[in-house]
Structure formats: structure tokens, C-alpha cells
């Protein structure tokens, strides 16, 4: 890798491919990543192909042994996870992880920056590998290219044999049957979402373990040992049961899951869905009463504050969400420092929490006023929904979040 560099040197700048926004025309500015080498390597396709060859040759290149073969094997194998302690060899090693597709076990790594995606993968036993990069953030194109390359590379290869099945021991599996939630999200700031949206249900069905995400397709696993499970057509275990983990049993595979009582899942989903529906109803109701108020058809409207304050709270939350959604293509630029977007999110989330509490206070104090029962009841429920959401977001550190610090 004679020309590769962590830095934007004049020589690198001459050869560098521009990375483009979704419109395909507007380039992104160069991203000076401080956490090298986490995506900061500027290298050519040929140099990256040499890197693939380095792994296939077990640490040697050009006839020179640069790294011991044992070190390469250590990079490819997880050793510090609870699943690894149970004997699972698939997973995240040292910046090198396994993926299984069509029965073949790949090692490597992929990643992306704003406007660029790349993947390096190889089959060590078959001596084949590839690297490709695209100067676009189009995930569908990226996945399509990856599948085409893998399909072509393995078109004449024999799939690895799958290990023999082992009987599932119900006494071992029983503590894990039921609902599980993510216990170690990759991005801690998103835990408030992943712990609810990432819930799955585990069940035993005809001697197989079925993991059914509430939002996704079920996955069926068969046992290869007491604590290790693989998908039916895959050659390696990718799921491990950890019964003796500190704090309670855990499940490790693509992530770490922990059992959670079913009533907790039901309560959280019920409160969440009900709150969002009530907040949405207030926004829809505003399309009725706001024009009438502007046209002076509401009269004195003694319950106007019961409508205005909760609606203002909902609009503040909607504005904060909109700032994030509109920044998906520039999230780091807009939220990595104090800008209109990051500052706006800070202010709007605080305003949401304050107006949610204010709306509930106004509603409770209006019980004896001359307000129609239906309007009052709706205002009370919306205010309770706003306050519930605000309390939840406050607990997880979203209210007043300063992303630039």
C-alpha cells in the first residue's frame, strides 16, 4: 500500500474520488476522521486488493511474512465475548467479523462514510476474496453489488458441511423462552428506541428455537450443543445462550439480548402506541378547530388553552424529530457541532417537556370550568400522553440533548 494515507495530503487529494450526496451531483466535503483508522484510510482499489491477499496468505505478502498466521486467526475469532467463552467462533474478532451467506463463511469488514460505502470480505479456506467501494450512500446498490460478487465467486464451490444436530434440552432453554430486548445497543443514545423496537419473542417449536422479532421475520435455529445454536442451513453456530451471566441470563448472536417479562413489553408497547395515537389525534383535531378559530366561529371557546398548549407541545416534538430526519444526509455536520439543527433540537425537546407538563397542569386546573366533557377528556388524555412521552425521553437523556458536547 505505497500510496495509502490516513491524511489528506496533496498527493492523496489529486487521486481522491469525490463522495456524493443522494442527488448524485453534490459532493460531500472531505471528512477528517480523528479516530483513525476507523474509516480514515485513503487507498486505491489495487492497494485494498493487496490487503485482501494479505489475509488470504495468512499474514504474508510478496513472499514476506509480515504478521504471524496465528495473529491473523486471532483477528478472525472473537475471544472476549460471553458467547466465545461458550465456544462460539463466529462473531466480531479484532476489526474482523464473520458473515454467513448461502452457506459460506466470510471474514472481513464493511463500513461507510457520508457518500461512500465499502466492503472487504474473503473465504480463507477457499482462498478467495474481494474488495469494492462505491462513492454513493445507496445501501440497496451496495447490497446488490455484494450479492452479485459473492454469487459469482462461489458459483462453482461446494458449500461447507453443516454440523450434526444436537437435541435441545428444555431445562436449559426454558429460562430464555419468552420476550427478550436488546441489552447492549451499538449506539447508546438510541437505547430508548432499540429497547422497544428491538424486542423479540423466543419459542420452542418442534425441537427448534424460533426467534421472532416484533418488527421482522422469524429466524429458526437448531442446536449444535447445549448452549450453541445455528440456523438450519448454516455451518456455524451464530447464537449462544448464556445462563450464568452477571445480572441474569443473556443471549448473544448479532447482538446481546436479555429476557424481559411479557407484561413489561405489553405495557410499554401499549403506552407507546396509545400515546402516539393520542398525540396524532390532537394534531388532526387542530385542522378542525384552528381554521374555525381563525374564521371566528369558535366564539369565546373557554377550553381554548386545553387545545393550544398540548398542541404546542406536540409541534415542538414534531419539530425536533423533523430536524433529525431532514439531516440524515448531513447528520455529523449538522449535529456534531452547535448549529441551527443541533441547537434547535436542544431547544425544541426542552420546550416539548415544559409544555407537556404545562398542558397537564392547565388541564387539571380546568376541571370545574365551562368546557364540554368530550373536549376536556380528550385534552386530559393528550396531556397525559405528552407527559408520559416527555418523562420517558427525559429518563433516557433525549430531552435537552446537546449533541455537540
Same domain, 271 and 238: no
Same domain, 35 and 140: yes
Portion of the chain with pLDDT greater than 70, in percent: 96
Question: In the prediction, which pLDDT does 299 show?
Answer: 59
Residue 233 within any structural domain of the chain: yes
CA distance 335 to 402: 9
Portion of the chain with pLDDT greater than 90, in percent: 62
**Number of domains comprising the chain:** 3
Q: At what angle do helices 373-395 and 262-294 cross, to 10 degrees?
A: 130
Question: pLDDT at residue 39 above 80?
Answer: no
If you average pLDDT over residues 308-314, what whole number do you get? 94
Alpha-carbon dihedral sign for residues 214, 218, 220, 221: negative
Pick from 239, 260, 281: which residue ends a domain?
260
Residue 97 within any structural domain of the chain: yes
Same domain, 16 and 143: yes
Residue 162 within any structural domain of the chain: no
CATH code of 40's domain = 3.40.710.10
Nearest to 225 by CA among 209, 249, 246: 209
Residue 313 within any structural domain of the chain: yes
Question: In the prediction, which pLDDT does 164 show?
Answer: 84
Pick from 94, 121, 153: which residue ends a domain?
153
Same domain, 177 and 125: no
Note the pLDDT tens digit of each residue in 133-157: 999 888 899 999 999 999 999 999 9
In contact, 49 and 61? CB cutoff 8 Å: no
- Enter the C-alpha cell of residue 387: 407527559
Domain extent, residue 204, equals 170-260
Same domain, 105 and 51: yes
Phi, psi of 8 (to 5 degrees): -85, 75
Residue 404 within any structural domain of the chain: no
In contact, 340 and 360? CB cutoff 8 Å: no
Residue 2 within any structural domain of the chain: no
Cis status of the peptide bond prior to 149, with omega within 30 of 0: no
Highest mean pLDDT among 93-97, 249-253, 352-356: 352-356
If you average pLDDT over residues 297-316, what whole number do you get? 80
Residue 376 within any structural domain of the chain: yes
Instruction: Give alpha helix (H) positions in 198-339.
Output: 262-294, 304-325, 331-335
Same domain, 142 and 45: yes
Pick from 204, 235, 260: which residue ends a domain?
260
Amino acid at each position: 500500500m505505497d500510496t495509502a494515507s490516513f491524511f489528506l495530503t496533496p498527493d492523496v487529494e489529486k487521486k481522491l474520488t469525490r463522495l456524493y450526496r443522494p442527488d448524485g451531483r453534490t459532493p460531500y466535503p472531505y471528512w477528517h476522521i480523528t479516530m483513525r483508522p476507523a474509516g480514515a484510510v485513503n487507498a486505491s482499489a489495487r492497494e485494498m486488493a493487496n490487503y485482501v491477499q494479505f489475509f488470504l496468505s495468512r499474514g504474508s505478502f510478496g513472499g514476506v511474512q509480515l504478521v504471524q498466521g496465528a495473529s491473523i486467526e486471532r483477528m478472525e475469532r472473537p475471544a472476549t465475548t460471553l458467547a466465545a467463552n461458550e465456544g462460539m467462533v463466529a462473531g466480531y474478532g479484532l476489526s474482523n467479523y464473520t458473515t454467513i451467506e448461502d452457506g459460506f463463511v466470510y471474514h472481513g469488514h464493511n463500513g461507510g462514510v457520508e457518500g461512500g460505502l465499502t466492503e472487504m470480505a474473503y473465504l480463507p479456506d477457499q482462498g478467495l476474496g474481494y474488495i469494492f467501494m462505491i462513492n454513493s450512500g445507496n445501501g440497496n446498490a451496495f447490497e446488490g453489488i455484494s450479492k452479485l460478487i459473492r454469487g459469482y465467486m462461489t458459483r462453482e464451490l461446494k458449500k461447507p458441511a453443516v454440523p450434526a444436530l444436537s437435541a435441545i434440552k428444555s431445562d436449559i432453554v426454558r429460562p430464555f423462552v419468552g420476550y427478550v430486548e436488546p441489552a447492549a445497543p451499538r449506539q447508546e443514545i438510541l437505547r430508548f428506541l432499540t429497547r422497544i423496537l428491538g424486542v423479540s419473542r423466543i419459542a420452542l417449536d418442534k425441537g427448534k428455537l424460533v426467534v421472532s422479532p416484533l418488527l421482522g421475520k422469524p429466524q429458526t435455529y437448531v442446536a449444535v450443543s447445549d448452549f450453541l445454536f445455528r440456523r438450519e442451513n448454516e455451518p456455524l453456530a451464530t447464537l449462544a445462550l448464556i445462563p450464568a451471566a452477571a445480572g441474569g441470563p443473556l443471549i448473544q448472536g448479532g447482538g446481546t439480548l436479555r429476557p424481559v417479562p411479557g407484561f413489561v413489553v405489553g405495557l410499554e408497547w401499549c403506552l407507546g402506541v396509545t400515546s402516539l395515537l393520542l398525540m396524532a389525534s390532537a394534531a388532526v383535531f387542530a385542522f378542525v378547530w384552528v381554521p374555525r378559530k381563525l374564521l371566528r366561529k369558535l366564539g369565546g371557546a373557554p377550553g381554548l388553552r386545553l387545545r393550544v398548549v398540548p398542541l404546542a407541545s406536540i409541534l415542538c416534538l414534531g419539530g425536533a424529530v423533523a430536524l433529525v430526519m431532514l439531516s440524515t444526509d448531513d447528520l455529523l455536520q449538522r449535529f456534531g457541532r452547535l448549529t441551527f439543527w443541533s441547537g434547535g433540537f436542544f431547544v425544541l425537546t426542552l420546550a416539548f417537556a415544559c409544555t407537556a407538563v404545562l398542558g397537564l397542569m392547565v388541564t387539571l386546573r380546568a376541571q370545574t370550568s365551562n368546557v364540554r366533557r368530550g373536549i376536556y377528556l380528550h385534552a386530559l388524555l393528550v396531556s397525559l400522553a405528552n407527559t408520559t412521552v416527555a418523562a420517558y425521553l427525559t429518563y433516557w437523556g433525549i430531552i435537552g440533548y446537546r449533541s455537540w458536547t
